[in-house]
Structure formats: structure tokens, C-alpha cells
Amino acid sequence: MENITNQSRRDFLKTLTYVGAGVYMSNTTLAASSHIAEEESATATISNTEQSDYTTGYKALVNVFLHGGHDGMHMLVPTEDDQYAQYTQTRGNLALAKRKLNIVSADINDENSLKFGINKGLPNIHNMYNNGDLAFISNVGNLTQNAPNLFAHNIQRINWYKCNTQSDINTGWAGRLADKMTPLSEQVYNIGIGKNSLWQRGNSSRGFTLSDSKELSINGLKNDEINKSRLEDLLSTSNSNPYINEYANLQLSNLNNYTIYNDIMDANADLGNSFNNVKNGLAAGLKKIAKIIEYNSNEENATNINRQTFYIELKGFDTHTRQEEKLGKLYEQLDTALIKFKDALVHIEQFNNVTTYIASDFGRAATSNGTGTAHGWASNYFAFGGSVNGGKIYGTVPKLAKADLIRKGRIVPDTSIEQYVSTLTKWFGASLDDRQDLFPDLVNYTQDDLGFMNNINITPADSFIDDGTTTDVSLYM
């Protein structure tokens, strides 16, 4: 694995082990060349003196979920001679020619850093990376031991939502994070666009879902104010059964939220020209999110909402066939929507306070199955925003020789999902204690953050490799 150890990945796989069930050097980027592996390492220690802060300023996390399992090797490609040769040999007819890639450095401030290519179908992602607003997080996957159904869509989506496989829970980490903000939980809204995601559900807090259609309405009522009033009266009637009362209160809360958010959608939010003349379903959803952020971050509205999480999906990434064609269309939609969203956030002066990141069921196999790819394991992801330490690639891009892959051409992750989202929630204000409670498997990794967010204390980048812990890959197979 480039930049981590002198022992080759092939040797790891021959012994069915690999370093530490994740990148224990979590904050190390691919910025420096491979000589990092030869430098003196220092074991990082996690300080437990952090205090949670959910009240300072306004912050939002936006989860853009690429539904179906995204092939991250179609987005970010190693272009150093040896690595690119492995890539083209393994990918076969799916390999991207260098003319289809925008070549970048693994650290935009280090001309000697390793070179990679960003798919030219993502020109705005490329520009955000070069401007230092976007970071790639490479080779991320589910590293929970004995994880069930590692390549099943529904199970792995749930894993992303929960990030807690150590207990039989039915909550998502965004919902549990809102629980921790008590007594602020009434001020925290986990909002989904067109999707009621488990990610938003907590024990005491709950998510609220906005329709992805133009207007918001309660089913069967629409603009019927008379029947809406009758329903409110009915729900306000006390009942001797506490469960009925609780259900009634929940529905009253939904009615109230629909009123609030309809008003926000109807308000003339000044988002500049960012979303003008854009016919794009993802962009339409992100426009709603931008309106909510503009409203709740405005002190004049006195909502007292300091933290929000948002969930939105882009479907179609299960590319078993015609992958290049399908991803081309999806990338155009994703790239356009995200730059419009960024422009809106800049216009309302909230770009520094909002971090947007992508997630997906899992990665895809590095090898071609004809015109597409099978379900895989590791993938490449990115996060962007004014607080992102961008223009860098974090983690490792694996060697892609077929001998370095496992069954069906799958790439073994080096970085865990928990480390990825822990980094985001640390920026959001969560202390280490809170994050270890949210993500129980986080204790298995020496580093609790990957370093791609600004204003967090991290070990200096090339000072840490791994602590020697090994995990049996057969536990996942």
C-alpha cells in the first residue's frame, strides 16, 4: 500500500491479513511520494480532553448518497506510470485514457506529489479540488469484522446510516448525534429530501422529510385548510391511551413542520443566480436545502437552530452494464448540481459553515464484467466546503494489479467508514467521547480523524504509519 509500509499488499493478501483494519495513519495524505514509508514513524495517541460544542455558530452537514454502489475508480485514477499501467491492465475496456482525465497533484501545494486524474466529466469537481475547496478520501469501506452481506445493497446502505454494528439498534448516526444535543434536540432538524432515511432517526429525535416535488403537502389534504383544521382539532384531543397521544403529538409536529417549511420554500430566498435555468432533479433538491440553510442561519429569523443535517440521493449507480454511458450522465447531473449548490452557499455567506460529502452503498470491482462492474468493496469519496482542507487526497489509492485484488476483482479498503464520518462529526462539534459512542468501532483505529477538515487537531502528516495491528481478511469473505 503506497505510503504506509514497505511490506507489499500482495504479501498481505497471501497471508490473508492487511494493516490494521483501516488506515491507522488516518490523517496522512497521498501528497508525498512513496519515500514516506521509509521515514521514522510515530504512534499517534488519541486525546480524550475534547468538549462537544453544538452551539457555536451555524453548521450543516449535507449527505449526498450515490445510490447503487459508485465505482470510485471511474472518478479518480492513479496516473503515475507504474500505477496507471496496473490500472489499465486490470480495468481492461473500462480503463479511462489519460486524455479523458484532468491530471492533478495529490497535494496542490507540492509539485512533487503523486499524480492522479479526475474524470473530465466532473469539471466543477476538478476546479473545486484545484481551488482547495474539495478533498478526496480514497479507498474507504466497511471494515467492521464479521460484517454481514458485505456486498448487499440494502445491508451496506444501512451500515452507512447506522455506523454501529455492535448492538441491535434501529437508529442512524445523524439521529443519535441529534440526541446528544439535548436539550437542544428540539432545535435540531435532520432533513431528508424525498427520502425518509434511517440515517436521520434517533432515539428521542427524528428526521423530517420534505417531498422532492415542487409543493409540500399532507397526503389527502393538499391546500384544504378546512380539513387540515379539523385534523388538528382531532389530534389535539387527549386520549387515555399514551401511545395514541404520542402518535397524535407526532402528527401535530408534522403538520407544524409542513407549515414552517412551506413558508420557507415560498419565501423569496436570495440565492443569487445559482440555480437559474437548471433542469436537474438533484439540483432542485439542493436548492431546497440551500433555502433552509439561508433561513435558519439568518439571525433575524431567530430559529435558534445551530446544527442541521441533510440527506439527498442520486440514484442509478448500480452499473452492471453500460457503465461509462450511465456514469457519464450521472456525473453531469452531480457535477452541475454541486457547483450550483456551492455558488448558492457562497452567495448566502454560508460556504464555510456547510460541508457536503458523498457516500454510497459500496465501491465496485476493479475489473470489467463486459460493459460494467460487479459489486465491490472500497471506493473513493470526496467532501467539499469552506472548512475542508482541500486540494489533497487522503488515505491511499491501492495497487491495482490483479494479484493485489481479492475475489471478483474487489479492492480491500484501507480507511474505515467510521473514520470518514468521525472526521465530519468532529468538525460538526462532537467530542471524542460522543464520537466513540456514535461509532463504537472507532476505538479500533489509532486515529479518529483523517485530517481533511480545517480547525481540528491532527497529527502532522507524514509522522505516523500504523501500530502493527492486523485483521484477517477472511473475516469479511
Model confidence at 277, pLDDT cuts 50, 70, 90, reads confident
**Grid coordinates of 411:** 479492492
pLDDT at position 458 is 38
How would residue 17 be classed by pLDDT, with cut points 50, 70 and 90? very low
pLDDT of residue 6: 28
Q: Are 387 and 407 in contact (CB under 8 A)?
A: no
Is 458 part of any domain?
yes
Mean pLDDT is lowest, of 94-108, 151-165, 215-229, 253-267, for 215-229
> pLDDT-based confidence at 7, cuts 50/70/90?
very low
Q: Is the pLDDT of residue 4 over 60?
A: no
Please name the residue that has the C-alpha cell 428521542: 204
Residue 145 has, within 13 A of its CA and on its CB side, a CA count of 15
What pLDDT band is residue 151 in, cutting at 50, 70 and 90? confident
pLDDT class of 455 with cuts at 50, 70, 90: low
When divided into structural domains, the chain yields a total of 1
C-alpha cell at 332: 453531469
Give the range of the structural domain holding residue 51, as residue numbers without chain letter. Answer: 9-476
pLDDT of residue 400: 86
pLDDT of residue 165: 79
Residue 473 has pLDDT above 50, yes or no: yes
Residue 333 forms part of a structural domain: yes
- The pLDDT of residue 430 is 93
**Which residues lie below 8 Å from residue 325, measured CB to CB, with a gap of 6+?**
none
Average pLDDT over residues 94-118: 95
pLDDT computed for residue 302 by the predictor: 66
205 or 358: whose pLDDT is higher?
Answer: 358
Mean pLDDT of the chain: 81
Q: Would residue 44 count as lying in a domain?
A: yes
Residue with cell 481551488: 131
Q: Residue 391 domain-assigned?
A: yes
pLDDT at 40 over 60: no
User: pLDDT-based confidence at 214, cuts 50/70/90?
Assistant: low
**According to the 3-state scheme, what is the secondary structure of the chain?**
CCCCCCCCHHHHHHCCEEECCCCCCCCCECCCCHHHHHCCCCCCCCCCCCCCCCCCCCEEEEEEEEECCCCHHHCEEECCHHHHHHHHHHHHHHCCCHHHEEEEECECCCCCCCEEEEECCCHHHHHHHHCCCEEEEEEEECCCCCCCCCCCHHHHHHHHHHCCCCCCCCCCHHHHHHHCCCCHHHHCEEEEECCCCHHHCCCCCCEEEECCCCCCCCCCCCCCHHHHHHHHHHHHCCCCCHHHHHHHHHHHHHHHHHHHHHHHHHCCCCCCCCCCCCCCHHHHHHHHHHHHHHHHCCHHHCCCCCEEEEEEEEECCCCCCCHHHHHHHHHHHHHHHHHHHHHHHHHCCCHHHEEEEEEECCCECCCCCCCCCCECCCEEEEEECCCECCCEEEECCCCCCHHHCEHHHECCCCEEHHHHHHHHHHHHCCCHHHHHHHCHHHHHCCCCCCCCECCCCCCCHHHCCCCCCEEEHHHHC
Instruction: Assess if residue 1 is contained within a domain.
Output: no
Q: What is the pTM of this model?
A: 0.84
- Residue 2 belongs to a domain: no
Q: How many CB atoms lie within 10 A of CB 92?
A: 12
pLDDT band at 59 (very low <50, low <70, confident <90, very high): very high
* Most confident option among 158-162, 180-184, 245-249: 158-162
- Contact partners, residue 20, CB within 8 Å, separation at least 6: 445, 446, 466, 467, 468, 469, 470, 471
* Residues 32, 379: Cα–Cα separation, whole Å: 21
Which of 199, 215, 289, 294 lies closest to 258 in space, CA to CA? 215
CATH number of the domain bearing residue 441: 3.40.720
Assess if residue 3 is contained within a domain: no
Cα atoms in the 13 Å half-sphere on the side-chain side of 176: 20
Q: Calculate mean pLDDT across residues 188-206.
A: 85
Residue 222 has pLDDT above 60, yes or no: no
The confidence score (pLDDT) of residue 224 equals 65
The CA distance from 282 to 117, in Å, is 25
Q: Has residue 109 been placed in a domain?
A: yes
